[in-house]
Amino acid sequence: MQTITIDTITQAVIDHGDGGKTHPRLYEIYTSLVKHLHAFVREVNLTEPELQQGRDFLNRGSHHTQVIPDGEIQMLTDLLGISMLVELLKDSNGDVTEANLEGPLYVPNSPQRKLGDRIGIDAEGEPLFLSGRVLDVDGHAIANALIEVWQPNSKGLYDIIDPSQPAGNFRGQLHTDENGNYSFETVVPSGYNIPNDGPCGEVLRLLGRHTWRAAHIHFKLSATGYTPLTTQIFIDSDPLLDSDTTFTVRSTIIKLQKHKSLPELEAQNQNKPFYSAQFDFVLKPIVTAREVQPVNPLFEVT
């Protein structure tokens, strides 16, 4: 019989099983997690009431709510920087556009748009004409690349959480032309507060952390022969660039150019000042079987 002590309990937990014979990757992750969790408990000398608060936090965070139908667990990993750390680990090629988190507000099959189309209605928004090219790593155009775009309006609200917006507002899918060009009209998006009425928001307030995301536009790109890209681009003038609460701001930042002269307004058929910006996306060719084949899940629950 093994006597459990403060010195033996961690290894006893790790050894309690088949040692990873059936699921080696799961065992690797589980073993490391147990070691780190036990080390954490020792380091902070966790008390029983604190452990119970932690249990309550996770229980409440996993509840489905109207605001967050899937619960707060994904948001928790975002707020702890874990989602972004996983993203950073898989991306080391500086020649291609940096990937970023998809976030919870992507909707497939968004409205089809033609090049140059306006993708949303927002009378109070500042118009933004965004254009650029989709290129390979050698600078060659990628024709007929699919670009999916989604963003909040000028109040920081997405259509699927704002009943005042029509479905598909500030969403769309379009294809590059034969020279890899894309263009569309939108509005300058606003940053927004993540849902902060639940347990995650409570803890952030206690830590003196704000709950704002910097203004951004989401993209998904795909083209035959290239690794699909999910990313976000940010606005260079946004005061939240240095403190986005999900730690997602990378180098994909656009600089807005303001246009307010009468000839410029007339040329774009605008009755108020507007902005323009350019951003080129660079995609990576598919080169490995791992990128072609879907990665198996860690385990399957039956």
70 contacts: CB under 8 Å, gap ≥ 6: 64, 104
Task: Tell me whether residue 17 or residue 104 sits nearer to Fe ion (CB atom).
Answer: 104
Cβ-contact 200, 184 below 8 angstroms: no
Task: Tell me whether residue 103 or residue 199 sits nearer to Fe ion (CB atom).
Answer: 103
Residues 166-185 that bind Fe ion (CB under 5 A): none
Position of minimal CB gap to Fe ion: 103
CB of 133 to Fe ion, least distance (A): 24
Task: Tell me whether residue 4 or residue 67 sits nearer to Fe ion (CB atom).
Answer: 67
Q: Which one, of 154, 167, 168, lies nearest residue 125 by Cα?
A: 154
Cβ-contact 229, 97 below 8 angstroms: yes
CB of 151 to Fe ion, least distance (A): 7
Task: Tell me whether residue 103 or residue 168 sits nearer to Fe ion (CB atom).
Answer: 103
CB of 103 to Fe ion, least distance (A): 5
Task: Tell me whether residue 61 or residue 103 sits nearer to Fe ion (CB atom).
Answer: 103
Cβ-contact 128, 272 below 8 angstroms: no
Q: Residue 185 forms beta bridges with which residues? A: 118, 129
Q: Assign 52 to helix, strand or coil.
A: helix
CB of 92 to Fe ion, least distance (A): 25
Binding mask 91-130 for Fe ion (x = CB under 5 A): ------------x---------------------------
Task: Tell me whether residue 56 or residue 236 sits nearer to Fe ion (CB atom).
Answer: 236
CA 170, 175, 177, 180 torsion: positive or negative?
Answer: positive
Q: Which one, of 262, 228, 231, 119, lies nearest residue 183 by Cα?
A: 119
CB of 294 to Fe ion, least distance (A): 25
- How many residues line the site for Fe ion (CB under 5 A)? 1
Strand-strand pairing, 257-259 and 274-278: antiparallel
Binding mask 52-91 for Fe ion (x = CB under 5 A): ----------------------------------------
Q: Which one, of 212, 223, 204, lies nearest residue 246 by Cα?
A: 212
Residues that bind Fe ion (CB under 5 A): 103
